[in-house]
Amino acid sequence: MSTANETFALPDVRCAGCVLKIERSLADLPGVELARGNATQKRMRVVWDEAAQSLDSVRAAILGLGYQAEQIAVEASVDRGPALLPRLGVAAVGMMNIMAFSMSVWFGAATDMGPSTMQYMHWLSAAIAVPVALYSGSIFHGPALRALRHGHMTMDTPISLAILVTLAASLVETLRDAEHVYFDAVIALIFFLLIGRVLERLMHEKSGDAAANLRGLMDVRATRLEHEGTQTTLAASQLIVGDTVLVKTGERLPADGTLLSDLVHVDESVLTGETKPKAAAKGAGLAAGAIVLDGPVEVRVTHVGEASEIGQLAQMAEEVTAHKGRSQRMSDQFARGYIPLVLGGGSLGFLMWFFVFGASFGDSLMIAVAVLIVTCPCAAGLATPAVTSRAMNLALKAGIVVKSGAALEQLGDIDQVFIDKTGTASLPQLAPAASLSAEVLGAARALAAASAHPLARALDDGSVAAVTEAKEVAGQGIEGPDGARLGSAAFVGTPNDTSASLFYRAHDGAVTPITFEEHARLGLSEFLSSENDVARPVTLLSGDSATAVERFAKSAGIAVWLGRQTPADKLNILKAAQAEGNCVMMIGDGINDTVALSAADVSVSFGEATQIAQTSADVVLTQPDLRRVSQAMTLSRRARRLIHQNLTFSTVYNVLTVPLALAGLLSPALAALLMSASSIVVMANGYRLRGVK
């Protein structure tokens, strides 16, 4: 089965309810495996079986619901929806003029203004209000109308209804030569709502879209070397696998590739979070987005666009908003069922004041409009994604890819950690014992550099040039031109009465056994430290012998360890811990860790781990530094606090403002200010989240 994976931009989406409608509709399509969206980023990720659906049919399904949908790849050339600033400017000018006419009427009423003059002022206000309400208010009317056309409502529905009903009532009153009209309230309402939208968009852009930021690193110009020796400048997106590109000092690599030049230093901090430059030799793989520090260099393209490492990171970044945690599901459920209550509240306000309290039609209408506006659940819909998007962006900057909103939340709940030994708690490469003399180690490495044997590769760190004219004896060892040997005990002519697996014999016949040690992974001691405010009980699990596991555990300071553990054993241990009510984390990097990674509440792997381990993990560390795990847990706890604050605020906001609106204490303009302010407060609170060190 061939599957397609596409992320769509949804400029018309306003709330979690909009996203949920699209998700449900797409999920009902045959062959659609995944449909997950984010209201804050206005994105929808869809995975489908190409035998059952096409890109056009999926897009048509979204369009059929009344929402624009464009591929992220072409989003830059797509209209992102009505421009806010021109509409805000028109609303501001219209409001000032209508307010001037209204003030003339108010003062005129106190000074016996004639009815004809008053009606003239009303008609002037109408002439301004109608086009302004239709143009500046189109940002609300358009999505609301498209939604109604397809049988559902969005957050824009009560807002649009409030504007149009108030405008229509004012026109009717003007035709009846009535004394009171509400054109000033209509335009003031639009003006304050647009201010809220503008500030909300600015806050979102400042908070950052992690996936868009990553893809932006590939939006560069590339210099392609042609076969005839000429150079062609083109967009990175136009490169194909096999092209050779020239990258100068300070330029970003436009695609993943293999280094053709001898040596280069690159800054890969965007991928790894590590600011220290990386040295790469000829034949090394380089990632798109990395900055060349000492070019120019030539690179053969191996992966482009979404297939590149940074493209895959961007896809992972979108996963955090595609998978919803508990807080997001609560927020979605609240927003989904709230719109009918908004409309019901507005109707109740009108009926109560008009029929029960005997208020005028105009006063009752203004109360209903205020209720419609102030109860719009935008803050509740933004409560979780405002924080989640910010947390994802900060995590990526630290070299932490969290694949789901659920994992982001559960990182803060972890109370027991299990960690694999080889390649996870320890470095994947063995290192020679520190007791070896520098002279012997250097000579042995010179021989090892000329061999492809795994033990020789573990000994060779690239610091010593290979011995020339060395002879390798398969299965035994390697001999230098001066008679020095590196290999088995039999090859160097010495009894194998030590635990050493490799021996070096100098040209004078002196034999030195070489033992290897496992070195702790970077950041392990800090991760285990009791001073770490997110430190949890850690158990070391390994398939190695009990002796080897015990030796490493003692050197690393891990009190609880288990050796000779099969994948099934690891799974049973995790399940037993979960059965006791623990929220369990598993950190691993190998194929044998896959089952345990899948079973854990939160699983962590490295960017250098096996592909299957990365796929199974909820969190991938692009930089193999275990301190990042502590940082992710701290970030999760901070994010959850802000999410709870947002949900509490949105609840308190509605509890306080709805009675005020029903009591007639809020004008439509003030209701618009409060509603916009509530969304801005939620976005601003999410932006308070800061990175961790």
Instruction: Check if the beta carbon of residue 111 is closer than 8 Å to that of residue 34.
Output: no
Active-site residue flag, 508? no
Which structure tokens are listed for 564?
Answer: 């000779």
In which residue are the tokens 């089952």 written? 595
Question: How many other C-beta atoms can be found within 10 angstroms of the C-beta atom of residue 200?
Answer: 21
Question: How many other C-beta atoms can be found within 10 angstroms of the C-beta atom of residue 528?
Answer: 21
Query: Which of 243, 256, 267, 420 is labelled catalytic?
Result: 420
- Say how far residue 414 (Cα) sits from the centre of its chain: 21
DSSP reduced 3-state for 512? strand
Alpha-carbon distance of 518 to 23, in angstroms, equals: 49
Alpha-carbon distance of 254 to 234, in angstroms, equals: 10
For the four alpha carbons of 21, 27, 29 and 34, in that order, the dihedral sign comes to positive
Sheet holding 485-487, edge to edge: 471-473, 477-479, 485-487, 502-505, 511-514
Concatenated DSSP letters of 289-316: TPEESS--EEEEEEE-GGGSHHHHHHHH
At 573, the amino acid letter reads I
Alpha-carbon distance of 276 to 608, in angstroms, equals: 18
> 495 preceded by cis ω (within 30°)?
no
Long-range contacts of 144-153 (CB under 8 A, 24+ apart): 145/66, 146/12, 146/66, 146/67, 147/18, 147/65, 147/66, 149/66, 150/64, 150/65, 150/66, 152/21, 152/65, 153/339, 153/340, 153/343
Alpha-carbon distance of 331 to 383, in angstroms, equals: 7
Closest CA to 659 of 331, 363, 345, 378: 345
Alpha-carbon distance of 324 to 321, in angstroms, equals: 7
Alpha-carbon distance of 353 to 337, in angstroms, equals: 25
Alpha-carbon distance of 141 to 339, in angstroms, equals: 16
Strands 584-587 and 416-420 turn out to be: parallel
At 571, the amino acid letter reads L
Which structure tokens are listed for 385?
Answer: 């994604």
Query: Going by C-beta distance under 8 Å and a sequence separation of 6 or more, which residues neighbour residue 22?
Result: 10, 13, 35, 37, 44, 62, 65, 67
Instruction: Check if the beta carbon of residue 678 is closer than 8 Å to that of residue 656.
Output: no
Query: Going by C-beta distance under 8 Å and a sequence separation of 6 or more, which residues neighbour residue 360?
Result: 180
Question: How many other C-beta atoms can be found within 10 angstroms of the C-beta atom of residue 234?
Answer: 14
Instruction: Check if the beta carbon of residue 459 is closer than 8 Å to that of residue 444.
Output: yes
- Report the residue count for the chain: 693
- CA Rg, the chain, in Å? 33
Alpha-carbon distance of 532 to 56, in angstroms, equals: 51
In degrees rounded to 5, what are phi and psi of residue 224? -95, 135
Which structure tokens are listed for 177?
Answer: 């030569």
Query: Going by C-beta distance under 8 Å and a sequence separation of 6 or more, which residues neighbour residue 337?
Result: none
Paired residues of 621 in beta bridges: 400, 606
Residues assigned a catalytic role: 420
